């Protein structure tokens, strides 16, 4: 049995608290949130006690792992504190907004001898798992190019939120690509120059050490449409492609005006991910390095967006 404590009870925290209730081997033992006025309310909603600080949560409930559900810029402080208290750390990607902060998290966890896990739902999304399997078993030979388009829709567009979502989309995909194709050599990227009220567009060019050329187009759009994935990999022995808009197993129309319902996902990648937490916590080598590599590349993309320059990652590595 793995005992988990959640820090941060926003949208993400609430969602994840609910996920833990679906896994037998994991027990949510408590929550922490700085909004003291809501602590009682949370206790009622989630059936576990809520505390106003991480320290109180740890002292009272002694969880094995802290799931950090805070905005990116607040993750480091809690991660370091949790590690110092001897607790495994599970956080969202990007792990931080700077390499220095990410390194601090890694060092703190290393020192304390605890695991540092960074979420990436793509490793648990069945379509991405299938694509990786097909590529790994050489179904299309050596892969020359990969093209990914990811649209995320928001009810209400906010410039700040869109930046965060674009970076998160990019880092998830970069890390997933790195897990198949290895290191990235250089990046270049463009982003919509004109600020609009309704759409943010980023075009990213990635060149891998093994020669692969990958394109990621991450969009955040205001609207009610369903998030979209387009993915194509071309190899010297074949091509594979996937378009989420084609993979709709139930199509509906109504005689009256009823809001369309979304198809249920085959499985919730976030749920599948926490089912694996037990194994990941008991394995060695979960030190956040993989996530750091993806973060470095994600930050290089952001840098390129600002500077309009090609960022070479190997050079950067050499400088470190």
Partner 1 sequence: MKIGMISFAHMHAYSYAHAILKSQDATLAGIADDVKDRGERVADEFQTTWFPDYQDLLQTDIDAVIICSENARHAEMAIAAAKAGKHILCEKPIATNIEDAEAMIQAAKENDVQLMIAFPCRFHAIAQEMKERIDSGEFGQILAINGTNRGSNPGDWFVEREQSGGGAVMDHTVHVVDVMRWFMPGAEVKEVYAEVDTRFHEIPSDDCGLLTFEFDNGVIASLDPSWSRSKSFPVWGDLTVEVVGTKGIARVDLYKQNITLHSDETMKTTWEFWGSDSDQALINSFIKSVKENTPAPVTGEDGLRAMEVALAAYYSSKKLQPVKIIT
Q: Residue 160 or 249: which CB sits closer to partner 1?
A: 249
Candidate list 93, 131, 171, 299; residue touching partner 1; CB under 8 A: 131
According to CB under 8 A, which one of 103, 139, 163, 293 is a site residue for partner 1?
Answer: 139
DSSP secondary structure string, 66-110?
Answer: EEE-S-HHHHHHHHHHHHHTT-EEEEPSSS-SSHHHHHHHHHHHH
Q: Which is nearer to partner 1, 113 or 249 (CB)?
A: 249
Residues 141-160 that bind partner 1 (CB under 8 A): 141
Please identify, among the stretches 8-16, 112-120, 246-254, 312-320, the one whose residues bind partner 1 according to the rule CB under 8 A.
Answer: 246-254
Burial grade of 196 (CB within 10 A; 0-12, 13-18, 19 or more): exposed
Interface with partner 1 in residues 265-304 (CB under 8 A) = 266-267
Name the minimum Å distance from CB 105 to partner 1: 33
In the DSSP assignment, the letter for residue 287 is B
Q: Does 127 bind partner 1 (CB under 8 A)?
A: yes
Q: Are 166 and 235 in contact (CB under 8 A)?
A: no
User: CB-wise, 134 or 201, nearer to partner 1?
Assistant: 134
- Candidates 11, 194, 224, 253: give the one binding partner 1 (CB under 8 A): 253
Sheet containing 2-7: give its strands across. Answer: 49-51, 26-32, 2-7, 65-68, 88-91, 116-118
CB 300 within 8 A of CB 187: yes
Can you tell me the distance from the alpha carbon of 267 to that of 273, in angstroms, rounded to the nearest whole number? 11
Paired residues of 230 in beta bridges:
149, 243
- Provide the minimum distance between the beta carbon of 145 and partner 1 in the complex, in angstroms, as a whole number: 14
Minimum Å gap between C-beta 90 and partner 1 is 25
Nearer to partner 1, 7 or 143 (CB): 143
Tell me which of 156, 264, 306, 319 binds partner 1, using CB under 8 A.
Answer: 264
Specify the residue for token string 């808009």: 245
| Gap between the Cα atoms of 303 and 157, Å rounded | 23
Give least dist CB 181 to partner 1, A: 17
Contacting residues for 208 by C-beta, under 8 A, at least 6 apart:
177, 181, 182, 183, 184, 185, 214
Q: Which of 153, 188, 230, 242 is close enough to bind partner 1 by CB under 8 A?
A: 242
Note whether 129 binds partner 1 by CB under 8 A: yes
What's the chain's Rg over C-alpha atoms?
Answer: 20
Q: How far is the CB of 205 from partner 1 (least distance, A)?
A: 24
Token pair, residue 160, equals 């700040």
Quick check: 192 and 200 in contact, CB under 8 A? yes
Give min distance, CB of 142 to partner 1, in A. Answer: 12
134 counts as binding partner 1 under rule CB under 8 A? yes
Residues that bind partner 1 (CB under 8 A): 126-127, 129-131, 134, 139-141, 237-242, 246-256, 258, 261, 263-264, 266-267
């Amino acid at each position: 049995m793995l005992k988990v404590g959640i820090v941060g009870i926003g949208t993400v925290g609430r969602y994840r608290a609910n996920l833990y209730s679906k896994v037998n081997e994991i027990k949510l033992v408590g929550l922490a949130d700085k909004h003291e006025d809501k602590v009682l309310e949370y206790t009622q909603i989630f059936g576990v006690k809520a505390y106003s600080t991480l320290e109180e949560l740890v002292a009272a409930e002694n969880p094995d792992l802290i799931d950090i559900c805070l905005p990116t810029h607040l993750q480091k402080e809690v991660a370091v504190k949790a590690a110092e208290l001897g607790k495994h750390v599970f956080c969202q990607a990007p792990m931080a907004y700077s390499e220095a902060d990410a390194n601090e998290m890694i060092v703190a966890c290393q020192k304390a001898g605890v695991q540092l896990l960074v979420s990436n739902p793509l490793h648990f999304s069945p379509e991405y798992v299938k694509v990786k399997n097909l590529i790994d078993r050489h179904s299309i030979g050596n892969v020359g190019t990969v093209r990914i388009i990811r649209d995320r829709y928001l009810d209400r567009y906010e410039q700040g939120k869109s930046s965060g979502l674009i970076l998160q989309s990019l880092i998830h995909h970069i890390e997933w690509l790195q897990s198949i194709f290895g290191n990235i050599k250089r990046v270049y990227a463009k982003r919509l120059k004109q600020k609009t009220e309704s759409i943010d567009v980023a075009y990213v060019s990635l060149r891998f050490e093994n020669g692969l050329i990958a394109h990621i187009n991450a969009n955040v759009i205001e609207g009610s449409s369903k998030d979209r994935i387009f993915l194509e990999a071309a190899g010297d022995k074949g091509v594979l492609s996937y378009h989420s808009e084609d993979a709709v197993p139930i199509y509906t129309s109504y005689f009256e005006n009823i809001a369309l319902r979304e198809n249920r996902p085959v499985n919730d990648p976030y749920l599948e991910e926490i089912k694996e937490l037990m194994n990941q916590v008991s394995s060695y080598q979960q030190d956040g390095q993989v996530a750091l590599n993806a973060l470095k590349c994600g930050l290089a993309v952001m840098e390129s967006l600002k500077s309009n320059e090609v960022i070479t990652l190997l050079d950067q590595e050499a400088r470190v």
